[in-house]
Amino acid sequence: MLGAARRQLGSGPMLGQVLRRLRPAAAASAEAARGYSTGAKEITVRDALNSALDEEMSADPSVFLMGEEVGEYQGAYKITKGLLDKYGPDRVLDTPITEAGFTGIGVGAAYQGLRPVIEFMTFNFSMQAIDHIINSAAKSNYMSAGQINVPIVFRGPNGAAAGVGAQHSQCYAAWFAHVPGLKVLAPYSSEDARGLLKAAIRDPDPVVFLENELLYGESFPVSDEVLDSSFALPIGKAKIEREGKDVTITAFSKMVGYALQAAEILSKEGISAEVINLRSIRPLDRAAINASVRKTNRLVTLEEGFPQHGVGAEICMSVVEESFEYLDAPVERIAGADVPMPYAANLERLAVPQIEDIVRAARRACYRAVPMAATA
């Protein structure tokens, strides 16, 4: 299989021709008070991802897509819509349901200088391919003393959707962010999705690109700069979505929208919350986080994933190590419940952070919370 990857896409039999035998014969509610690029045009996160893939494939013939239903079906979530017709089956490859197989082929192709974009129908299924992602993709550059680059992107929906149970709802941000050699990105807006995916495809190292199924249908305004084909966002840089002076709230992916809504509620109570969209989980923009905490003197971390060893825990430790003397209140950590995701809708809601959880945590950090004894 890897021998095919040695051929350049522009000459001789292409990777897709060799692999063709492998091919088998949710919109969220609108979110208020969002921060994003100023622009007259709005595009969905789905279209932002699709346009990024299209433009990068057009600009670089070594970029190709591989995964389940990415071609004939136009993508399980229509992210790859129209790309099979435009680029053909040599560069948009439908695969059997075998994540271990097509992920390994993708890593081998990256060894040989191609730029695969591997789609997982959900990152829960990436566990089938974890050896290729961690032991092959993430470690090869170091183990080869820099002689082998692995320019590959692993992308797909991550975290909770709605009513899909424990085996389709886990957030893997902390899992992958634990591993040296990987870069881990988590977009929120259309600007994030377009700019970060372009940066990921161009990057010489393996990138885990964690999308959110419930954000695909969300529309965000974008500027002309964002729509330019040369646009890309820097990896490792967070974005301040809303400036504030009383408390810092860090979040990524869908939780950024929740944080912005909570900040709007808090503003009516006289609490000015600064909302940081992390964008990049690894590398983490520690400088931006600590600069904000040194200004606000309070921190609330927010994530959908499990609390133990989570992204929020790492952020808390970073602030304790670098800005402890600036804190005027204990750090508040909001995360998903420490339990596999329930299927029942009422329990599912209790298992993931809600806007009211963020508001309560910010009030506590600002000493505005009503003591529990007073409510008894």
Residues 35-92 have pLDDT tens digits of 455 557 999 999 999 999 999 999 999 999 999 999 999 999 999 999 999 999 999 9
Which are the contacts of 254, defined by CB distance < 8 A and separation ≥ 6? 28, 159, 188, 212, 214, 215, 304
Distance between CA atoms of residues 117 and 58, nearest Å: 14
Q: Are 2 and 109 in contact (CB under 8 A)?
A: yes
- Span 22-42, average pLDDT: 49
**Residue 168 bears catalytic tag:** yes
Residue 370 confidence class, pLDDT cut points 50, 70, 90: low
Residue 10 has pLDDT above 90, yes or no: no
For residue 283, pLDDT beyond 60: yes
How many angstroms separate the CA atoms of 301 and 156, rounded? 24
Beta bridge partners of 221: 42
Rounded to the nearest integer, the mean pLDDT of the chain is 90
Q: Which pLDDT value is given to residue 162?
A: 86
d(CA 219, CA 48): 10
Per the residue annotation, which of 99, 211, 241, 303 is the catalytic one? 99
Give the 3-state secondary structure of residue 147. Answer: coil
Structure tokens at 197: 């995916």
**pLDDT, mean of residues 287-295:** 98
What distance in Å separates the CA atoms of residue 167 and residue 5, rounded to the nearest whole number?
A: 33
What's the CA gap between 80 and 26, in Å, rounded? 16
pLDDT band at 255 (very low <50, low <70, confident <90, very high): very high
The residue with tokens 């950024």 is 256
**Please, what is the end-to-end C-alpha distance for the chain in angstroms?**
67
Measured CA to CA in angstroms, residue 371 lies from 38, 257, 327, 364, 366 at distances of 41, 28, 21, 9, 13
Task: State both tokens at 110.
Answer: 């990256």
Please give the pLDDT value at position 322.
Answer: 98
- Rounded to an integer, the average pLDDT of 143-171 is 94
**Mean pLDDT, residues 153-157 taken together:** 98
Instruction: Tell me the C-alpha to C-alpha distance, in Å, between residue 365 and each of 223, 248, 275.
Output: 35, 10, 15
Q: How far apart are CA 151 and CA 160, in angstroms?
A: 28
Catalytic residue among 31, 69, 168, 243: 168
Is 99 annotated as catalytic? yes
Nearest-angstrom CA–CA distance, 16 and 203: 22
Contacts of 206 (CB under 8 A, 6+ apart): 110, 133, 137, 138, 150, 151, 152, 153, 154, 181, 182, 183
Residue 366: exposure state from Cβ atoms within 10 A (0-12, 13-18, ≥19) = buried
For residue range 326-338, what is the model confidence (pLDDT) as tens digits?
999 999 999 999 9
Q: CA–CA distance from 233 to each of 3, 170, 203 (Å)?
A: 34, 26, 11
3-state helix, strand, coil in the chain (%, to 5): 40, 15, 45
Count of CB atoms within 10 A of residue 33's CB?
A: 16
